[in-house]
Amino acid sequence: MTPAKENTANTDALLIVGNPAVFHIGAHFRRAAEDISVPVHLCDTRLALDAPWPVVQWNWRVLGHRPPRLNSFSRQVLSECQTLRPAWLLATGMAPLTADTLRRLRELNVTCLNYLTDDPWNPAHRAGWFLDALPNYDQVYSPRRANLDDLRKLGCRQVDYLPFAYAPHIHYPESAAPEESARYQCDVLFYGGADQDRMPYIVALLEAGLAVHLYGGYWERHARTRPHFKGHADPTTLRKAVAGAKITLCLVRRANRDGHVMRTFEAPAMGGCMLTEDTPEHRALLGPDGDAVVYFDDPEDLMVKTNWLLANPEERSRLAQTAHVHITQGAHRYTDRLRMMLPASDERAPRSMAVAVNALLDDPARARQTGANAASAFDQEFRYDRQLAPVLTAMTGLTSGGRP
């Protein structure tokens, strides 16, 4: 990084480039920063799309998924950084920042981070301008292992795996009032987009005559799923929907090469009994089959596991309670993730230790033992020093979902 003449950065400040809408990662990280007393400012990425709809569509379909106000938004972010002089910039997903802007930000001694929520090689949103920009970040964090080698080959300086998380102020159990509970009761709930590779699983459930509730984009476009589409859920609706469902289905997005998704953490935090697509990442995060969740491989296996769960209400209750504890006591908040990304301060884990923790992710048994031993030793000698607590917790939590 080219040093500025003098480092006049605000050593405590964070600028987030993201979407502030309640369900988005940008909003989650802003709340996380506030929770650990990090001064935070957010630049709303929706401004980069502020153009007439035909212009947005032309730029997306013809100009390679390019936001119509990419350059002007990038200039705005640069101006904000020149004024605020934050220590860190955290961009979420395919943030509308050009490669030149990132180079100029680094000249200001702003450490530029990206939490890469989507697979940038997914044909649905692959963009040349964004792939050009990625190597100019100081560090890229990805919640999918399938992206790590590709990012390194692209030339990214530092690449680390960091899973999704949950937001405690949004994702918590809440049941509907008695007079409205009937509208949320169903056999199986799924919230998320109507991806083509998800359709066979949903159709299998519908063909079996089960009561299925669907929230999210595009389910209303398909004749088979339209009668079961319940709209787009706000946080309160989603919590009540999870409480009213006997089973909450967790499907990954295959076009994104996902090993887990946001609902991997959200649904258990809200108290759902989760029937989960079987992936190596899910098993690393949630444990073995039948411990906190039940896994399935294909539509046929999904139906076998669904029927078994529906016939065993006591087991559903046990799984939901176990998964809830597993997630909520396992350092899986967005606050925990932010602590891993930012350097040491009163409330945050040292960056060098964060890198070490990520290195341990490939050896879960060693990481769990290391974290347990260190936590015990520090608890006895130093009453579990609060600066090291997130690191020691993460050594156990990030590899096993917090299992002791």
Give me the torsion for CA of 171, 257, 192, 34, rounded to 10°.
30
CA atoms within 13 A on the CB side of 133: 27
Residue 364: per-residue pLDDT: 52
**pLDDT of amino acid 362:** 52
Q: How far apart are CA 90 and CA 140, in angstroms?
A: 10
CA separation for the pair 251, 272 (Å, rounded): 14
CA 177/CA 180 separation, integer angstroms: 6
- Tell me the pTM: 0.82
pLDDT at 359: 47
Strands 212-215 and 186-191: parallel
User: In this predicted structure, what is the pLDDT of residue 10?
Assistant: 60
Domains along the chain? 10-161 (3.40.50.2000), 178-328 (3.40.50.2000), 349-400 (no CATH)
In degrees and rounded to multiples of 5, residue 132 shows phi and psi of: -65, -35
pLDDT of residue 6: 43
Q: How would DSSP label each residue in 334-378?
A: HHHHHHHHS--BTTB--HHHHHHHHHHTT-HHHHHHHHHHHHHHH
What was the pLDDT predicted at 349? 40
H helices of 85-217, in order, are 99-107, 128-133, 148-154, 199-207
Residue recorded with tokens 């089973």 = 247
Q: Dihedral of CA 283/288/293/297: which sign?
A: positive
**pLDDT on residue 365:** 52
Coarse DSSP helix, strand, coil percentages of the chain, rounded to the nearest 5 percent: 50, 15, 35
Nearest 5°: phi and psi at 209?
80, 20
pLDDT in tens, the chain (404 residues): 333 334 455 668 999 999 999 999 999 999 999 999 999 999 999 999 999 999 999 988 888 899 999 999 999 999 999 999 999 999 999 999 999 999 999 999 999 999 999 999 999 889 999 999 999 999 999 999 999 999 999 999 999 999 999 999 999 999 999 999 999 999 999 999 999 999 999 999 999 999 999 999 999 999 999 999 999 999 999 999 999 999 999 999 998 999 999 999 999 999 999 999 999 999 999 999 999 999 999 999 999 999 999 999 999 999 999 999 999 999 999 999 999 999 733 333 434 344 444 444 555 554 444 444 444 433 333 333 333 344 333 433 333 333 22
Residue among 139, 132, 245 at smallest CA distance from 184: 245
Q: Are 56 and 32 in contact (CB under 8 A)?
A: no
Of 227, 219, 179, residue with least CA distance to 199: 219
Q: Are 205 and 225 in contact (CB under 8 A)?
A: no
pLDDT at 125: 86
pLDDT score for 178: 94
